[in-house]
Amino acid sequence: MNTSQVVVLFKRYRFFMIMLVILIGLTLVQPELGGTASNLALENLIDMMAVVPPIFILLGLLDVWVPREVMIKLTGEGSGLLGITLAFLLGSFAAGPLYAAFPIAGIMLKKGSKLSNIMIFIGAWSTTKVPMLLYEASAMGFNFMLGRFLLNIPVIMIIGFVVQKSLPQKDLEALYEAAEKL
């Protein structure tokens, strides 16, 4: 491995290395706290390893099985209310933590989905998941759940459209070009 490869490797993993040095330093200064932090980090890594591989398998299948033309038709520029509804439903019925939504959003972007629909998908994933709504209804009452849900719908839509409209066209094109390289 030559020097330039080491530099690239360090740049790619610098955050991880910095956090590892901090964790080692914490363990040296306060062993009990460092041990607790290490255990939490390991538990989070194990949790992620249980979620990430199936997500990437599904992403691969989505990338291969769903033609770009179909994705554009369903969630692209001319999709209208169908694209909004589909993005919202996909996000609401999805399973897994929020960090699993971002690779899916990347594939949607690569396949030509409209940015506002991708933002709606992420917003729905983070706030309107069906299991969360059911839990909320049982724990806090149906009226609370319904009120929050009905408030979230327009807010998610507004955020999606504001993000789409606020990006200059050249930035939007650069975003789609970067997604093509995924």
153 by Cβ neighbours in 10 Å (0-12 / 13-18 / 19+) ranks as middle
Q: Where along the chain do its domains lie?
A: 3-13+15-48, 66-180
pLDDT in tens, 125-149: 999 988 889 999 999 999 999 999 9
Q: How far is Cα of residue 30 from the mean position of the Cα atoms in its chain?
A: 35
Extract the tokens encoding 13: 């993993």
pLDDT in tens, 46-88: 988 888 888 888 888 888 888 888 888 999 998 999 999 999 9
